[in-house]
Amino acid sequence: MDKLKQYNTFGIDVSCRSLIELHSVDQLTEYLQSTDGQFMILGGGSNVLFTADIEKDVLLNRTSGIDIIHEDERSVQLRVASGENWHGFVSWCVERDYRGIENMALIPGTVGAAPIQNIGAYGVEIKDVLDEVEYLDLSDRSLHIRSNNECQFGYRNSVFKGELKGKIFVISITITLSKTSTPTVEYWALKEYMQGHGINEPGTKDVFDAVVYIRRSKLPDPAELGNAGSFFKNPVIPNTQLEQVLEKHPEAKHFPVDDTHSKLAAGWMIEQCGWKGKRVGHTGSHARQALVLVNYGNAQGRQIADLAREIIASCKSEFGVELEPEVNIL
């Protein structure tokens, strides 16, 4: 049995049947021809909580490559291998002043996870720049390409988390970034940073630096304290339900999504229920960000999962809204 502790950001000490590094699609297709079907694919391990040993092979996605498909004065189109580190890729783009993903700096994980989760931060989502996703069907080893519309993107959701979950391997993504667009700095935290640093016309690097600073100031480093970032999604609810929440909690933090739905701040909800900074055994909700559940060093995955269930029940009782984990619990 191979150990997985260093391959998941929660630092959960579990084992798997065998650990295999994947460096090419050909290597994966060769493996699929002889496997008994008992395997799972792992990228950065930053969006998973292991609650028990994995009685199967774990394939580590280590594919790499960033290719320029087309470039002109206004934009650049890139094809990026799924095993590339996401933050490393964002840094690569910022160095070249390719604009559109700087707001998503420091999101942990690999490029391949980006379309699956439809990752996003500070007013920007991967769907805003993505052209297509190339993937391998794990059942028959056939190659497929899905356009942006065919990915069925939603809030932290896509077809890859729905009907295709566990059935495909993302090979690469193709995105188009601008060379001329104005950075997105609508979030108050970004505006506050710019004002504090005397930046009136922020550029790509300014936004990147701001996001890195803000995230590091409120989120624990997984290398120092085991975590998977935000454990829960911000719940999207009908406005009729929001009215009921506001009757009891007029100060509730919420944001419009469309004409009929709004998003509640899950971190605020958790904090109101008394969980922020609370430690339960070797786990707990982080003191600076209630959305982040942490491993203080010796927590087992099931203990973190139990804490998550308690928080969900607590928020359901107080607000009538059920939180949904963003992290995959295995």
Q: Which active-site residues does the annotation give? A: 156, 230, 326
DSSP state of 47: S
Q: How many CB atoms lie within 10 A of CB 179?
A: 16
Angle (nearest 5°) at CA 152 between 126 and 290: 55
CA distance 185 to 266: 22
CA atoms within a 13 Å half-sphere pointing along the CA-CB vector of 263: 13
Q: How many CB atoms lie within 10 A of CB 309?
A: 12
End-to-end CA distance of the chain: 18
**Two tokens at 93?**
């783009």
Contact (Cβ atoms closer than 8 angstroms) between residue 56 and residue 17:
yes
Angle (nearest 5°) at CA 293 between 257 and 46: 80
The partner residues of 110 in beta bridges, in order of sequence, read 85
**Two tokens at 252?**
């509730």
Contact (Cβ atoms closer than 8 angstroms) between residue 138 and residue 57:
no
